[in-house]
Amino acid sequence: MDLFSKIWEWLVQSWESMTWGDITWTLLFSVVTIIVCYGLIIIGMIKIPADYFSSTYVREIDHDKHFSLRWATFIVKNTIGFLLIIAGIIMVFTPGPGAPTILLGLIMMDIPGKRPLEARIINRPNILATVNNLRARYNKPPLVMD
């Protein structure tokens, strides 16, 4: 039996064994996840500097904070960013804002080489137009792209 057949069989068995309570909790979880992701996307796209995606952007590192606080912030940001990327990948195949969630996860993470991938995502016409419309709604300047 090939892998696809095994997965299909597992899905059919899982669906047949689901109760209305399981379906309700699954739908509730999906709705809450989508709402939280949209909220995070809105906050993230409003808070980033307008020149974040330009080559002139220089990230300021706050050296005034204690070393352990900087590391704790680094770990929390990267963990949240990683989880957002995973959620975004899942949302590409299910209902939800997949590409913007992946973009927000990348923005939060501190990994080398992320800038070209971020630029490829934000340069998609629909995404850039939507983000700039959102920023205009909150009196923020549009994103500057190279």
In tens, the pLDDT along 9-42 reads 887 888 778 788 878 888 888 888 888 888 888 8
What residues does each domain of the chain span? 40-53+62-146
pLDDT tops 90 at residue 79 = yes
* Mean per-residue pLDDT, 51-69: 75
Which of 42, 48, 51 has the alpha carbon at shortest distance from 133? 42
Which pLDDT band, with edges at 50, 70 and 90, does 1 fall under?
low
- Residue 146 confidence class, pLDDT cut points 50, 70, 90: confident
Rounded distance, CA 69 to CA 66, Å?
A: 5
pLDDT per residue as tens digits for the range 85-132? 898 888 888 777 888 888 888 888 888 888 778 888 888 888 889 889
| pLDDT band with cut points at 50, 70 and 90 for residue 61 | low
The pair of three-digit structure tokens given for residue 70, joined into one six-digit string: 């900087």
| pTM recorded for the entire structure | 0.64
Count other Cβ atoms within 10 Å, centred on residue 70.
Answer: 14
